[in-house]
Amino acid sequence: MKINLLKKSLGIGAIFLASTVWAESEVANKPVHGEYKDWRLLSVSHRLEKKTLRAILGNDKAIEAARQGKTTPWPDGAILAKVVWKERQHPNWPQAIVPADFAAAEAMIKDSKKYASTGGWGFAHWQDNKLVMHDKETAAKCYACHVPMKDHDYVYTFNALQ
Amino acid sequence: MKINLLKKSLGIGAIFLASTVWAESEVANKPVHGEYKDWRLLSVSHRLEKKTLRAILGNDKAIEAARQGKTTPWPDGAILAKVVWKERQHPNWPQAIVPADFAAAEAMIKDSKKYASTGGWGFAHWQDNKLVMHDKETAAKCYACHVPMKDHDYVYTFNALQ
């Protein structure tokens, strides 16, 4: 009896704690980010059907190419990072859609020889701060979605800070 | 007669050229950006009622403070840049809202003594690559909108890349 009561209390306590944490304006999880956090901005986007916000960041090679207008094709060594957050309404401004929890960070890595079979791009993602190549099956899916942008070197992003 | 025909042809040619340019997926204007283009990302947002997308970038002082969790208050010398674009649907992915034309870049500059009357923040905007302080009237409007975030040192942005 006592153990059941204890379990119930802990359960209720956990729900209360979770709801207090949820009520906080700051997001709950504290992810470890990769090197992209120091990269510069190419663009942003809001994916309505995915309910996510994104920032597209580029490594130095990518930013250099973007500023010189040399992105069809992007040069080997350019890396584009897609940083994804779940969306939420800003607690103090409901018409502002802002990041909630961090969702994922993925990369497109340009190497026209190494990744010739997928348009010259390798597809990867960060596990915490470690960049890990996608397996062949996942990479094939990424590539398939990017094929419609073949004439833009497979990239959906238009440089917004040129 | 010949001159009129020439004028007409030039006019039609100009309209055709303009429509071809418009049809391009790349945005039409080529703005000159300020130093913020080399700053790092704090967050992104989509303002539904304004139909604009935003990136919030921070200078080194701001990024440092954000990563140390020392943003209530932000340190003197921190500058937050709000880069604004009009929104549009991605031509190849309608559910993706992406930047169209660049709209504006504004700044919040922290100096607790100099800007004591407006919460420690100076309000400015970039005219091309030049950072220009807002006049008193405009700054008062900016400040008034930010007052609801007084307990967050007047900043609406929650650091999304911590």
Tell me if B40 and A45 make a contact (CB, 8 A cut-off).
no
Alpha helices of A24-91 — where are they, by DSSP H? Answer: 60-67
Q: Note the pLDDT of residue B22.
A: 36
Tell me how far apart the alpha carbons of residues B115 and B56 are, in angstroms, rounded to a whole number.
21
Q: Select the residue from A64, A92, A161, A162 to test the B interface by mutation, using most B Cβ atoms within 10 A.
A: A161
Residue B159 lies in a domain: no
Residue A162 lies in a domain: no
Residue B90 has pLDDT above 60, yes or no: yes
Residue B122 lies in a domain: yes
Q: Are residues A8 and A61 in the same domain?
A: no
Residue A160 lies in a domain: no
Residue A127 lies in a domain: yes
Q: Note the pLDDT of residue A30.
A: 81
Average pLDDT over residues B62-90: 98
Number of domains, chain A: 2
List chain A residues with CB under 8 Å of B25: 152, 158
Q: pTM of the predicted model, to two decimals?
A: 0.84
Q: Are residues A63 and A18 in the same domain?
A: no
Residue A14 lies in a domain: yes
Q: Are residues A122 and A62 in the same domain?
A: yes
Tell me how far apart the alpha carbons of residues B105 and A159 are, in angstroms, rounded to a whole number.
16
Residue A95 lies in a domain: yes
Nearest CB to B95; choose among A47, A93, A152: A47
* CA atoms B31, B87, B20, B16: torsion sign: negative
Contact B75/A at CB under 8 A: no
Residue A147 lies in a domain: yes
Phi, psi of A108 (to 5 degrees): -115, 125
Which of B75, B81, B7, B14 minimizes the C-alpha distance to B43? B81
Residue A27 has pLDDT above 70, yes or no: no
Q: Are residues A52 and A86 in the same domain?
A: yes
Q: Note the pLDDT of residue A29.
A: 65
Q: Note the pLDDT of residue B138.
A: 97
Cβ pair B74, B62 in contact under 8 A? yes
Q: Note the pLDDT of residue B18.
A: 39
Residue B78: which domain range? 36-152
Q: Note the pLDDT of residue B28.
A: 58
Higher pLDDT, residue A7 or A33: A33
Q: Note the pLDDT of residue A162.
A: 82
Residue A154 has pLDDT above 90, yes or no: yes
